[in-house]
Chain A
Amino acid sequence: MYLPLLPEGLVSFLGAAMVLTGAEIVIRCLQEEKVEYVFGYPGGAVLFLYDELSKQDIVRHVLVRHEQAAVHAADGYARSTDKVGVALVTSGPGVTNAVTGIATAYCDSIPMVIISGQVPTAAIGQDAFQEVDTVGITRPCVKHNFLVKDVRDIASTIKKAFFIAKTGRPGPVLVDIPKDVSAHKCEYEYPKTVALRSYNPIVKGHQGQIRKALGLLLEARRPMIYAGGGVVLADASEKLTKLTRMLGFPITNTLMGLGGHPATDRQNLGMLGMHGTIEANMGMHYCDVLLAIGARFDDRVIGNPAHFQSEPRKIIHIDIDPSSISKRVKVDVPIVGNLSDVLDDMIKMLESMSERPAPSQIEPWWKQIEEWRSRESLKYKNSTEVLKPQFVVETLWKVTKGDAFVASDVGQHQMWAAQYYKFDKPRRWINSGGLGTMGFGLPAAMGVQLAHPGSPVAVITGEGSIQMCIQELSTCKQYRLPIKILSLNNRYLGMVRQWQQFFHGNRYSESYMDSLPDFAKLAEAYGHVGLRVEKPGDVEGAIREAFSRKNDLVFLDFQVDPTENVFPMVQGGKGLTDMILSSEDL
């Protein structure tokens, strides 16, 4: 029988270190890291690890139906908590299936540890069965990776992996363990500390730079706060809101930053960028001092960088990763540090100063912003006949009182979710922004639901995306995950269709999918509840019904308007101020 983890006192009392197999050591390490769930899929190279998993019940394993889903689930778990997600896959196809998930996490800086099996050390390089160069394949999409060739290195490597994954700019770290290494034995002791001479992320911001930044902010006439995913990752949203209130400035969030400042707050201008509001995009473009916080000036956010830089403004940029600063846009006051610490310092410094930006100084700016806001760029024509996708999202928001965890896939539905579900809290909005991975939503929601049992978890998806990981309905049944799936079924790869309509002369090449399944019946076949909703009048009832079924996964198949488009829209390569506001602008 496997010994449960011994209390620390007892271990030191016994003195001698234990001799364990590599597989036992891996599981011990996960226990030490307080890992609740491992999402994975077994195979030859990880059999020893699975054997040990089954002998204990501290680390629970969730058996997914595809390795991509294992990584997305670990990712959703991490995004909705402040913990590191963990996935376990076998060598060869297990790893290659996981790559999409790893790249997804990498692009959004999500802390994660992936443990992969490898062929035995003697077989490496022999084109062995299920051998791939895992470290090579994953190198460009991990923060770091390791191949452990000696059982004595397992514990220290796993300790390093967790440390690297969660500190600095977070990211996925992969640990590749050959099968024989997981069977070899050695003395085990979990290292208490990690020291890496080549990795020391900066935490504190430079005080002089912070002072300089405040000086600029206090003088601003047209200030703007632009806050991104870094705020969520740093768990700094309360501090951000405090600073925003003290300054009285307008704020906008990136897609990844939603929930970093309450969406329903008056100072919040909504999301900016390709599908941002008029007020956010115009504010971003015409401000005289921009405070960028944990946001990386992505091309979907600032449009054409040359156009963006054609307007003079001073930019202050706080980021933990120096390479995010002055990458696409030249910055005037860079501040490298952990947001949480830098915001603390800013707030303290501001509190100790008698000066505050005089409201009158920025009043004309607010007036201008209100004028932009009054154009109501998110207004859409609702209908009593055709089901509008925006209306479904608004109703979800209403029914869940804005307090659900919402995972999404990628496409038009993702943008409508971002625009119409007003996130007031961080870590509630779970989506793939950087890589834009269709298939992310459902498995990510599994991780979210496991991390928050009892909380409402919704997936906003499309009939295209949901089919990329639909097999996970089976996992949801096995683990009784009462996720609510809202599929905005427009019978189109809608985002592709929209681009084809706007920029490719209405030639809908391969963006219409024939022969869709009856999703309600499909959900039923997996043992869940499925409902098809066709009329606007039935939307609220259906969503309420779904959430009242506390123990059931409910699949709501909304037959939405196939011709609806996402507005506003900034065409790729155009300037932020060049927005298409409705079909009439085409």
Chain B
Amino acid sequence: MRPRGRGELDSLYFEYPRFAAPHRHSNAALERVPVAIVGAGPVGLVAALTLARSGVRSVVFEKKTTFNDGSRAICIARQSYHILDRLGVAEPFIRKSLGWTTGRSFYRGRLILEFEMPHGKDEKFFPMYNLQQQYIERFLWEAASARPEIEFRWASEAQDLRDIDNGVALRVADPGGAYEILADYVLAADGARSALREMRGLRLNGENLEGRYVIADLRMKHDYPTIRRALFDPPCNPGGTVLIHRQPDDIWRVDYQLKPGEDEQEALKENNVRAKVASILSDIAHDGEWELEWWSVYSANTLALDDYRSGRIFFIGDSAHIVPIFGVRGLNNGIADGENIGWKLARVIKGQAGPGLLDSYTPERRGATLDVFAKASKSARFMTPPSYGLKLMRDAALSLALSAPFAGAFANPRQMTPYDYRDSPLTERDDPSFEGGPAPGSVPPGVRLDDGTYLCDLLGEGFTVLHFGAPPSGIESFTRKMRDLDPVFRLVVIGAEGEDSGAIRFAGDPKGECAARFAATPGALYLIRPDMYVAGRWRDDLAGPAAALARILDRKEAA
């Protein structure tokens, strides 16, 4: 919502583009496309870009003619920046967004906890960045519209669908009328109110947690670093919680909790929002001018589909799951969905992988959602305690934190640990002789190399094997065999010298820091997936990664 006199898209700082509906010939022949993506939100665009990176075409249908209104999801996590980086689109994000590492929690106006998210010289990206969702969508759209593999159809609403042989027929309506288009696969990136979900008769299951928040953006010159502030029981919102985030363009986000039973419609009236914002600002001692930009309401739900797949339709992003905002995982999880289905689908469509690869999408990404649910329910129980006893404990912990610092740890949102795929069907059993290092299913640690680049920069577009120490004889035929399975396979040799080629890269490791982080001795091998998860690790066994890759790609004949 916006202040009286301003339209839904009249932003103080952002120009919304207007996209034209497609020009179509009414008598055009029936089209068939490899992938139809419904929804041009951030998740649909990440999926389109991931497919395009492998040369797979998609058509994106979006019923609106511009980006989503309002700043919505503003916290992008490190893992998402790695995804944007792999897609080659991170640059404008890095330039515009505000990276941050620190959070502060206050109780009744006094600091009880300052926490630092894990960060260090080996990390290419900050743990978190703040950026308004319109910018996220704009930067993704700019990258996507430059790709010949991606076609946008704005003002185009998916209205119906039916299964056909080896595909889906989608009915789309635009200002010129309605038509049918055939797709081998459909990605339902159509958001929390997913129409495709309805069309398939599927339901989100889960819980509605306690707690509704009004989120409001204001523009002001306010001199405070990019640090997330959480105010518990502040004078401006007694008994409730307030969150404050800095965004680019002098925009500040305040989230404030409504009381149980408080009337939402009433709370959302402009005058009431203004009054609340004014009292929050007085709590944080801001006495300068401010302008109201946009506001909305958000409730804490943990809802997900039981299966993210229905035939040849895959649900990605909010269409598949809705999570509470204070876990900052709604959008971040959706971005990971988009990359996950993108690299798998591209390989199946190009005939490089069997259909079995797609079976791992639901367990991996629904697993990630359930993990967020567990963490979010925990922080929800702290932010908005659901019972008398938990409320009393919460207040006790906060009050105690003022004089006994250990109790401040209860107020730490601990939102950063990435989910791991250790239970995924794609993940190999671990070699127990490794003492430490990233286990199969986890995300490898960041490593800054001697020349100032990062280990992740050396990974290829597809699967990568890291080999520690001088390569053994047979490495050429190994690399050829891997390239037969994955044409963009890359071998990265760490701690040995040699000549770089398309398939092989060498990285020095004079101090052995990289080897140490991987608990690797000479001969150690790590198989890394296109989305940078460790698929498996071995010692002195080139047959290990070769068999694993064939299995992952569902290519039994090659094993």
Please determine whether chains A and B interact with each other in the same assembly.
no
